[in-house]
Chain A
């Protein structure tokens, strides 16, 4: 077994995903199968290989820190699930 049901539950919490018991069973089985396939990579000795970082030679892209778009609170709030005036309204996080 590459992954247990308890690990699936732990990862689901990290990923903030609610899973039904059926989904937990199915994902445990499927992830185990997929992770088993990925063991293939262990066939290769990569101790002397630098990890890949970027496909093309690139340097840090920097620009002046100036505002280039006009602030438009209404446009940005138009998709908010809940709002109050020009604020996003979110669930309470402290009691």
Chain B
């Protein structure tokens, strides 16, 4: 077995006991990328030379016992919407095709200080807008479980890279499900923390009231370790919250006795793939067997979430993306006057989905429509959040499927934007309410595609989510299965 197949905690133990070096581990990861990425296309940019340099430095620090960070010497991949000083960052858009950031995102700084090795930048839907990684301006990423299927999105490159052992773990961002849905599609663990738990400074903004950074990992322990490394208040992000960061790994007791699992009836309705429902219900029974208590709950405004999300997210995106004007950075077209320079630069730089969302958001915010769309959506959003506040009076976590189906075929939904939006139906309410939620593997469908279970927690209660996820994982072997990377 390649060293690249190790989990973060396994690799860390081997590094600290000197069984392996970070250079060996990093070389194994790049060997794996060389063998598999012409099929998967998970990475946009590789950083091999810098990574090996970071690995050599980590090995010296390991020799001197200088840093005790669990990330020391560990190769991690970053979604290509994290600013990395000196390393090209494209957001999978032609408008940033040759952009080299002059500074690091706060989360990237934290990884560097912890001695992590950065393997490269992974593919995504352009500006994180999509559920399949097909909206990348460069190429679609393939699902390692079946190369004809999508890896999910928008963090599809990070999820595929973790599943294919092209890194030890990865970071992504999640605005409406962009960590959890690809984690489900690729059979790995993905966590969207509470809004405000992790700094977004240096993350390319999409929808600022919902964007959040989180880990994509091979198991729950890795997820807890990586979250602990990136969480905390940041003076450079005024929305990050001043709260102590718990030792998340201490929550992994294996004991779920007495934990109340809320099961929302609105999440098990028409449209769900039968095998997905069966697998999630079986996982709930497993947790019940281990001592958890099941409560049926109701989230009555669930059916309005997709409409609310695609008004709020596009409105925020249309103003966030106004900065791409071709003046100080990014693509600039040659044109006869200033207005044409803006219009042609943005036409040439943005892809079809990004344009569609800018149009929708601009419309929703424009004079005469603001009250009917944006304000109305924010009122319904308050009702959606209230549903969760009420539900959490009766339970500690809420358990649902992560997505209504397993990974669909490449090209299957590209012609119908609304169908694509509906694949986020189980994940977007959580962003609207600012809650933390995790996806972990809970089975496979008859086509051997992974199924994800979502565990939603109270604000800032990632610990209980991780405890339940770990308790389930201990009782199963799903996370140990590896993809074959074949056409099927």
Q: Does B382 contact A (CB under 8 A)?
A: yes
- In the complex, the chain B residue whose C-beta lies closest to that of A42 is B376
Contact, CB under 8 Å: A56 / B194: yes
Q: State A93–B363 Cα separation when bound (angstroms).
A: 27
- In the complex, the chain B residue whose C-beta lies closest to that of A81 is B332
Chain A facing B: main interface SS: loop
Q: Does B482 contact A (CB under 8 A)?
A: no
Given contacts A17-B343, A17-B358, A88-B327, contact A38 B310 (CB under 8 A): yes
Given contacts A17-B355, A40-B307, contact A52 B328 (CB under 8 A): no
Q: State A55–B382 Cα separation when bound (angstroms).
A: 9
Residues of A within 8 A of B417 (CB): 30, 34
Q: Does B362 contact A (CB under 8 A)?
A: yes
Name the distance in Å between B193's Cβ and chain A's nearest Cβ: 12
Q: Does B326 contact A (CB under 8 A)?
A: yes
Residues of B within 8 A of A51 (CB): 375, 378-379, 381-382
Contact, CB under 8 Å: B328 / A15: no
Q: State A88–B327 Cα separation when bound (angstroms).
A: 7
Residue count of chain A within 8 Å CB distance of chain B: 52
Contact, CB under 8 Å: A16 / B359: no
Binding site for B on A (CB under 8 A): 3, 7-8, 11-19, 23, 27, 30-31, 33-35, 37-38, 40-42, 44, 46, 49-56, 58, 61, 63, 68-69, 72, 75-76, 78-82, 88, 90-93
B374-408 interface with A by 8 A CB criterion:
375-383, 385
Q: 3 smallest A-B Cβ distances: which pairs?
A: A55-B434, A61-B238, A81-B332
Name the distance in Å between B421's Cβ and chain A's nearest Cβ: 8
- In the complex, the chain A residue whose C-beta lies closest to that of B243 is A56
Residues of B within 8 A of A61 (CB): 238-239
Contact, CB under 8 Å: B339 / A55: no
Q: Does B342 contact A (CB under 8 A)?
A: yes
Contact, CB under 8 Å: A19 / B347: yes
Contacts A15-B359, A40-B303, A51-B375 known; 8 new A-B pairs at CB < 8 A: A16-B322, A16-B339, A17-B347, A51-B378, A52-B381, A56-B194, A81-B332, A91-B337
Given contacts A55-B434, A58-B241, contact A14 B380 (CB under 8 A): no
Given contacts A30-B417, A78-B102, A81-B330, contact A18 B343 (CB under 8 A): yes
Given contacts A15-B318, A31-B360, A31-B363, contact A46 B355 (CB under 8 A): no
Which single member of A14, A56, A69, A90 contacts B362 (CB below 8 Å)? A14
Q: Does B109 contact A (CB under 8 A)?
A: no
Per-position binary interface string of chain B over residues 294-315, scored 1 when its CB falls under 8 Å from any chain A CB and 0 otherwise? 0000000101101110110000
Q: State A31–B369 Cα separation when bound (angstroms).
A: 14
Q: State A81–B345 Cα separation when bound (angstroms).
A: 11
Given contacts A30-B356, A31-B360, A72-B102, contact A80 B380 (CB under 8 A): no
Which single member of A27, A33, A52, A63 contacts B378 (CB below 8 Å)? A52
B427-478 interface with A by 8 A CB criterion:
432-435, 459-460
Residues of B within 8 A of A19 (CB): 347, 355
Q: Does B195 contact A (CB under 8 A)?
A: yes
Name the distance in Å between B343's Cβ and chain A's nearest Cβ: 4
Q: State A55–B175 Cα separation when bound (angstroms).
A: 13
- In the complex, the chain A residue whose C-beta lies closest to that of B196 is A56
Residues of B within 8 A of A88 (CB): 327-328
Q: Does B350 contact A (CB under 8 A)?
A: yes
Contact, CB under 8 Å: B359 / A41: no
Contact, CB under 8 Å: B342 / A81: no
Q: State A44–B99 Cα separation when bound (angstroms).
A: 45
Q: State A75–B435 Cα separation when bound (angstroms).
A: 37
Contact, CB under 8 Å: A91 / B362: no
Q: State A73–B313 Cα separation when bound (angstroms).
A: 34
Q: State A88–B87 Cα separation when bound (angstroms).
A: 22
Given contacts A17-B346, A52-B379, A55-B433, contact A37 B307 (CB under 8 A): yes
**Could you list some 6 contacts between A and B, CB below 8 A?**
A11-B366, A18-B344, A31-B359, A51-B379, A52-B432, A90-B327
Q: Does B209 contact A (CB under 8 A)?
A: yes
Given contacts A12-B359, A38-B373, A81-B326, contact A56 B434 (CB under 8 A): yes
Residues of A within 8 A of B239 (CB): 58, 61
B314-359 interface with A by 8 A CB criterion:
318, 322, 325-332, 335, 337-344, 346-347, 350, 355-356, 358-359
- In the complex, the chain B residue whose C-beta lies closest to that of A50 is B382
Residues of B within 8 A of A78 (CB): 100, 102
Residues of A within 8 A of B418 (CB): 33-34, 37
Q: State A46–B238 Cα separation when bound (angstroms).
A: 30
Given contacts A16-B346, A41-B376, contact A56 B459 (CB under 8 A): yes
Q: State A81–B335 Cα separation when bound (angstroms).
A: 13
Contact, CB under 8 Å: B339 / A17: no
Residues of A within 8 A of B100 (CB): 78-79
Given contacts A17-B359, A79-B100, A91-B341, contact A55 B376 (CB under 8 A): no
